[in-house]
Structure 1
């Protein structure tokens, strides 16, 4: 790693070290998020009882050391691990982390005991293994004889054109929370197919859907909707679902949905814009929401049933393969989903296919002002797929759309919320959260 007590070795050299073992076995410990959610809702005793088959016998409590909590909290908040003390805000969530650590370590220990002559490669996230906390802490405590034979690796994407030098590795380590976190850094280049991108997107938003039932900050959500020029009637329709709003703009301004129309909401997420669209069509219209995320679609359908909106349904589908006939919808809205479409042309062509002649689309999406993002900075997956704003009009015209308007009149990325709107619920999952790798985005406002 380029720091005292650590090494930087080429990947080929690392592979050679693994080949020297008589056998290499890969095992992945898994514990359903169900038990973690139960722990947060019902407490430690109930969760341990439900998850007893995954845990060591007679497990009666979850114990973690203070350094592990310090590390865990810093990964959530972006706080420098070596500076200041952690807040107590995430103590409850930390217990859920420990539950998964204990279960995974127990599974690994069981396998090791059954294969005493084998060597093992354990794959887990940084939160489970960094600084030998979590899983390795428990495995090595039970098998201290393995300590001199073990090493710990953290991975990092390295998409630069030059090779990762020892000096650069040291700089990476010292500028992040990884200092002394492991014995090696595995630097790798990442290339994604369009299908892999869609899978990553679905996984990210499935996590959002898993916590969508938790109470959010309704005052804050309503302030954002008001800023984006949603009407008072729209905000009233959104109701308590407003805190599950996920858009980047207001597609209803230009969609002008009328009673009785058939509307398609592409990338509907948790359904807020679909609820507003269904209110505008009335019971004689129809609204269909599609999204890649199974958990978000499930949540949106539950909310539609609770609202008794029988003319609204949500289905899991890809915007590049919409399960509707040609020329079958009057209006298409989308709010933020096209940010994540890896093939913009194919997606817009599919919209053109299902839209009836004379129909309307209103798409809100974030765009780039130049043809590429600045180099040397890590960008979220969605931003890597943003389209250049000046390409939108010509692309749509090429596909056959007419009367194309690109409205960037309300395009600021940062809105100063009133102080009284309060804070976010830390138990609700957000896609980027407080990832320190993306802190530079706070300086961008257009």
Structure 2
């Protein structure tokens, strides 16, 4: 297993820089959340959501009421559009970042429902709480903690969502076990994530990690399902929401330092080897009712 502390430190530093840049923007300074980089996608200095790369592009309705949170989104999907959320339910977002999915969920579970966001980066929590206050959303709470150790009681939420964060964890089995623990019977696991669709050479996993911002690497689609089953979930499945074609890989390759490639491999060869290998996906599963 990867050095868990080192992975958490790298992820925290990356997201902290992104959050500080976005907070500076909200306070009237220069910069944007995108300028700090993050999972998923490469860095940007434009501050324009959806203009960065094919992984982060066109995930949300541009007319979303939470503009500042939208500008801070660093995900690879839109779990709130795919998860079935109902008034009165309790939702937990693992790795909530700037708070967009929490705020969207809070609106959908009102009245009577509540949305929790969990993040280990204090700067991101500060940004999320700022976005929450500016949006006037009252039925949401942002918690400090790691997704491998959720600070909520057993059987306390109806739906667990996440947006391109579980692949960051060095202990994905612990994340899935915690999701299972906090869900109520018949609760739903509904996350967006990067997945591998086929095995790739080990030497190229680092390239995918650089392209997607996924420090610890993505799981194979079938491995994801197997791990969910091992955690106790049923009806697990992976639905591809965006398969990256050759043109999009070439777009990503344009931002890659050739020095990160395996010795003797060109960018063109890397694109050829990774064509069709990874995608954004909606991963769903259910906690048994009994």
TM-score w.r.t. length of structure 1 = 0.48
Partner of 1:367: 195
3-state SS of 2:141 partner = strand
| 1:212 lines up with 2:40 in the alignment | no
Equivalent residue runs for 1:388-427 within 5 Å: 388-412=220-244
Q: Which has the higher contact order (CA 8 A, sep 6+)?
A: 2
Across the aligned residues of Structure 1 and Structure 2, the Cα RMSD in angstroms comes to 3.0
Partner of 1:290: 118
Offset from partner CA, 1:80-104 (integer Å, 9 cap, x none)? xxxxxxxxxxxxxxxxxxxxxxxxx
In the aligned structure 1, how far is the partner of 2:50 from the partner of 2:228? Answer: 37
3-state SS of 1:211 partner = helix
Equivalent residue runs for 1:426-437 within 5 Å: 434=255, 436=257, 437=259
In the aligned structure 1, how far is the partner of 2:221 from the partner of 2:205? Answer: 21
- Residue 302 of structure 1, aligned match among 113, 130, 134: 130
Contact 1:265/1:334 (<8 A) preserved: yes
In the aligned structure 1, how far is the partner of 2:247 from the partner of 2:199? Answer: 25
In the aligned structure 1, how far is the partner of 2:146 from the partner of 2:11? Answer: 11
Contact 2:92/2:160 (<8 A) preserved: yes
In the aligned structure 2, how far is the partner of 1:362 from the partner of 1:377? Answer: 25
Partner of 1:258: 86
- Residue 167 of structure 2, aligned match among 302, 325, 339: 339
Q: CA, structure 1 residues 226+386, in 2 after alignment: closer, same or farther (shift >3 Å)?
A: closer
More helix by share: 1
In the aligned structure 2, how far is the partner of 1:409 from the partner of 1:388? Answer: 15
Offset from partner CA, 1:206-245 (integer Å, 9 cap, x none)? 1111101325225748x988843x457xx42333432211
Q: CA, structure 1 residues 225+377, in 2 after alignment: closer, same or farther (shift >3 Å)?
A: closer
Q: CA, structure 1 residues 376+353, in 2 after alignment: closer, same or farther (shift >3 Å)?
A: closer
Contact 2:106/2:114 (<8 A) preserved: yes
| 1:277 lines up with 2:277 in the alignment | no
Which 5+ residue runs of structure 1 have no aligned equivalent? 1-190, 417-432
Partner of 2:35: none
In the aligned structure 1, how far is the partner of 2:245 from the partner of 2:8? Answer: 24
| 1:317 lines up with 2:145 in the alignment | yes
- Residue 158 of structure 2, aligned match among 326, 330, 335: 330
In the aligned structure 2, how far is the partner of 1:283 from the partner of 1:247? Answer: 27
Contact 1:218/1:240 (<8 A) preserved: no
| 1:236 lines up with 2:51 in the alignment | no
In the aligned structure 1, how far is the partner of 2:14 from the partner of 2:201? Answer: 22
Instruction: Using the TM superposition, give the Cα deviation of residue 411 of structure 1 relative to its aligned residue in structure 2, in angstroms.
Output: 3.1
Instruction: Using the TM superposition, give the Cα deviation of residue 269 of structure 1 relative to its aligned residue in structure 2, in angstroms.
Output: 1.0
Partner of 1:350: 178
Contact 1:334/1:363 (<8 A) preserved: yes
TM-score w.r.t. length of structure 2 = 0.71
Contact 2:197/2:221 (<8 A) preserved: yes
In the aligned structure 1, how far is the partner of 2:217 from the partner of 2:13? Answer: 17
In the aligned structure 1, how far is the partner of 2:218 from the partner of 2:55? Answer: 22
In the aligned structure 2, how far is the partner of 1:220 from the partner of 1:242? Answer: 12
Contact 1:237/1:275 (<8 A) preserved: no
Which 5+ residue runs of structure 2 have no aligned equivalent? 26-31, 33-46, 249-253, 262-266, 279-290
Equivalent residue runs for 1:153-232 within 5 Å: 192-213=2-23, 214=25, 216-217=47-48, 220=51, 227-228=58-59, 230=60
In the aligned structure 2, how far is the partner of 1:330 from the partner of 1:274? Answer: 14
3-state SS of 1:310 partner = coil
Q: CA, structure 1 residues 376+392, in 2 after alignment: closer, same or farther (shift >3 Å)?
A: closer
Q: CA, structure 1 residues 317+239, in 2 after alignment: closer, same or farther (shift >3 Å)?
A: same
